[in-house]
Chain A
């Protein structure tokens, strides 16, 4: 059995948010909605260290959907619009979701996003807020994103460029690529090569080797959701900003 998972090496993450942007481009994610977030841990603003000099910390934490083995969002969905596929991907059926948003309440990671209005309206609003003139953007014009609708083998719509209003969406591990044997966009787009994607059940896959060799942690492990996104903790840098251990007491 294939069971997909991801490892993110926090030592390699430079906080550039390329993963978030490439995800948005490729998946045609509406303005204001983010499937992938990168924040500086402990800080109000991204890229601002937390703490007081010289005791500072600046750790960047990217958070995609965890594609949990025990996903609460799947259990709460009254119509089974979100489900865990055999290969471990947690997906949303755009044609079945009734928009009750129970899954947004259940998900402890805050990765689920709701289409509060038409995606075109969102984009128009974005241009307006950015100070562009009225009608600068026409909704009928070009739309960014992977151009072809994607359906799973049993015909469920899991990726579409034209987002229906009033349904929930989230990171799919780029199901439209994974089904073609290509890694998710965030894995390929990471300039620091911080991400490894692959089959957790195959002992010879790169991800299994990384998981065997490195110590990893998962987010909110105490909730029992068993996420399939693993993190390699950042090591403390030596030298400036680090701790100098005194030999004498």
Chain B
């Protein structure tokens, strides 16, 4: 087990290093190294940002469920859940960083904030959520930290105190009381991070693929799918599959499986409404999905359904839980990726052309932003369709961020005394 763990750490460290090198390259040359251009301005980074916001959900929803709705069987895994909440909220912000053209000017967010902008609100809500999750984790673990300390590599165990059983009991009571106070404060933020992230996109009338009131609910459904699945995986890594955690796993698996159903209902409900009219921008977004992005759509649907099926039926075995959680997350990942292309490849400026009795809408092409092709084989300077495929740099940075986040997560789970009550 120790060797396996070390190997995983080594692989992740290499991936993280590659990602950092790729980011330095991108900082030196500019975002030209990505395959995004003026007609297609957000890509893999923003899709992953939305994905990480979703995975951050599980944590605090799980923790809050214990203290607000009294779901006691989730209690043993609460610390792991809130650690994942913290780490993925940080991951979402970290993921948005390489997408910024001028990271050196990020302080402008504090100096000249525009409170009408939902990106600013998203930043505020996400960082608040991250801080709340960190505090929540600390409150939950306080008695255990006092009892056995935090073991930091090369430094040793810190914050360990010698205490009588009485004192430990007092700390435990205090931790319980504070968690009860924190949970109702944290829960609105757990919902808000998805809502505001969805609003960043859903408020844009020029992008019919996003625009509308249904995006925020689907974001919450996606979060309730990915979040619990991530918590299952994290606690399987920490505790393994144990009898006393069976109830917790079963409940999480059921929440995740049910959320997929809710998500698919809302998703296809939207599809149906959009396709019925047979014309217009909303209709064209759906046609684009089926024409150009059918493979991604298939991955999304198949993995979500497969994951639901496994989670709903095989929640009693390690294999079932792992396979189901992974499948559900791959499905959500594809779902998140598909958030981007149909939004950009339906050009907002469409000019009606009337020719006798016929008429159609024509997309006004957008300047790409650089010169491509050769003298004899020039590529268009203005285009109304951008075939976006993430570049190697984008993929390397995305994997790098994932590796860094996994390293920090594994490190935290190892350093903090997160094991459940009554076992060492």
Contact: A116 with B369, CB < 8 Å?
yes
Contact: A100 with B99, CB < 8 Å?
yes
Docked complex Cα distance between A144 and B377 (Å):
27
8 Å CB interface, A202-239 against B: 219-220, 223-224
Docked complex Cα distance between A34 and B382 (Å):
9
Q: How far is the CB of A202 from chain B (nearest CB, A)?
A: 30
Chain A interface mostly helix, strand, loop or mixed?
loop
Contact: A32 with B371, CB < 8 Å?
yes
Query: For A51, what are the chain B residues with a Cβ–Cβ distance below 8 Å?
Result: 355-356
Q: Nearest CB to that of A20 among chain B residues? A: B367
Segment among B32-40, B157-165, B167-175, B323-331 that sits at the interface with chain A? B32-40
Query: For B347, what are the chain A residues with a Cβ–Cβ distance below 8 Å?
Result: 110
Q: Which of B99, B348, B353, B372 contacts A108 (CB 8 A)?
A: B348
8 Å CB interface, B353-403 against A: 353-356, 360, 362, 364-375, 378, 381-382
Docked complex Cα distance between A133 and B159 (Å):
67
Does chain B have a CB within 8 A of A166?
A: yes
Q: Nearest CB to that of A43 among chain B residues? A: B362
8 Å CB interface, B191-238 against A: 200, 204-207
Knowing A32-B369, A34-B367, A97-B102 are in contact, say whether A77-B381 is a contact too (CB < 8 A).
no
Knowing A33-B367, A115-B101 are in contact, say whether A50-B106 is a contact too (CB < 8 A).
no
Contact: B381 with A32, CB < 8 Å?
yes
Q: Which of A33, A76, A164 contacts B118 (CB 8 A)?
A: A76
Does chain A have a CB within 8 A of B421?
A: no
Contact: A80 with B112, CB < 8 Å?
yes
Contact: A78 with B113, CB < 8 Å?
yes
Does chain B have a CB within 8 A of A129?
A: yes
Bitwise, A99-138 to B at CB < 8 A (1) or not (0) is: 1111011111110111111100110011001110000000
Does chain A have a CB within 8 A of B18?
A: no
Q: Which of A37, A81, A97, A99 contacts B365 (CB 8 A)?
A: A37
Docked complex Cα distance between A108 and B119 (Å):
18
Does chain B have a CB within 8 A of A55?
A: yes
Does chain A have a CB within 8 A of B29?
A: yes
Contact: A57 with B30, CB < 8 Å?
no
8 Å CB interface, B260-274 against A: none
Q: Which of B41, B117, B368 contacts A104 (CB 8 A)?
A: B41
Docked complex Cα distance between A102 and B71 (Å):
41
Q: How far is the CB of A81 from chain B (nearest CB, A)?
A: 7
Query: For A165, what are the chain B residues with a Cβ–Cβ distance below 8 Å?
Result: 30, 101
Q: How far is the CB of A183 from chain B (nearest CB, A)?
A: 24
Does chain B have a CB within 8 A of A75?
A: yes
Query: For A56, what are the chain B residues with a Cβ–Cβ distance below 8 Å?
Result: 355
Contact: A105 with B105, CB < 8 Å?
no
Contact: A117 with B41, CB < 8 Å?
no
Count CB-based A-B contacts (< 8 Å): 196
Query: For B117, what are the chain A residues with a Cβ–Cβ distance below 8 Å?
Result: 75-78, 102
Bitwise, B77-118 to A at CB < 8 A (1) or not (0) is: 000000000000000000000011111011011011110111
Contact: B114 with A79, CB < 8 Å?
yes
Does chain A have a CB within 8 A of B155?
A: no
Knowing A110-B364, A116-B31, A126-B371 are in contact, say whether A99-B206 is a contact too (CB < 8 A).
no
Contact: A122 with B370, CB < 8 Å?
yes
Docked complex Cα distance between A106 and B36 (Å):
16
Does chain A have a CB within 8 A of B123?
A: yes
Knowing A81-B108, A108-B205 are in contact, say whether A57-B353 is a contact too (CB < 8 A).
yes
Query: For B382, what are the chain A residues with a Cβ–Cβ distance below 8 Å?
Result: 34, 37, 39
Docked complex Cα distance between A240 and B19 (Å):
63
Contact: A113 with B369, CB < 8 Å?
yes
Does chain A have a CB within 8 A of B351?
A: yes
Bitwise, A143-182 to B at CB < 8 A (1) or not (0) is: 0000000000000000000001111100000000000000
Contact: A102 with B369, CB < 8 Å?
no
Query: For B408, what are the chain A residues with a Cβ–Cβ distance below 8 Å?
Result: none
Docked complex Cα distance between A51 and B369 (Å):
30
Docked complex Cα distance between A125 and B356 (Å):
44
**Counting chain A CB atoms within 10 Å of each CB, which of B100, B101, B207 scores highest?**
B101
Docked complex Cα distance between A112 and B101 (Å):
15
Contact: A78 with B120, CB < 8 Å?
yes
Knowing A55-B356, A78-B117, A79-B109 are in contact, say whether A105-B41 is a contact too (CB < 8 A).
yes
Does chain A have a CB within 8 A of B349?
A: yes
Besides A114-B101, A220-B348, 12 other CB < 8 A contacts? A79-B105, A79-B109, A98-B100, A98-B105, A100-B101, A104-B38, A108-B349, A110-B366, A116-B31, A117-B31, A129-B373, A166-B31
**A interface residues (Cβ-Cβ under 8 A, vs B):** 31-34, 37, 39, 41-43, 50-51, 55-57, 61, 63, 72, 75-81, 96-102, 104-110, 112-118, 121-122, 125-126, 129-131, 164-168, 219-220, 223-224
A-B contact pairs, 25 of them (CB 8 A): A31-B370, A33-B367, A37-B365, A39-B364, A42-B355, A56-B355, A77-B117, A78-B117, A79-B112, A79-B114, A81-B108, A98-B102, A99-B100, A100-B101, A105-B204, A114-B101, A116-B30, A116-B37, A116-B369, A117-B29, A121-B30, A122-B371, A129-B372, A129-B374, A168-B101
Task: Report, nearest first, the 10 A-B pairs whose CB atoms are least far apart.
Answer: A99-B101, A166-B101, A108-B206, A42-B353, A117-B32, A108-B348, A110-B366, A34-B367, A117-B30, A131-B375
**B interface residues (Cβ-Cβ under 8 A, vs A):** 29-32, 36-39, 41-42, 99-103, 105-106, 108-109, 111-114, 116-120, 123, 200, 204-207, 343-344, 347-349, 351, 353-356, 360, 362, 364-375, 378, 381-382
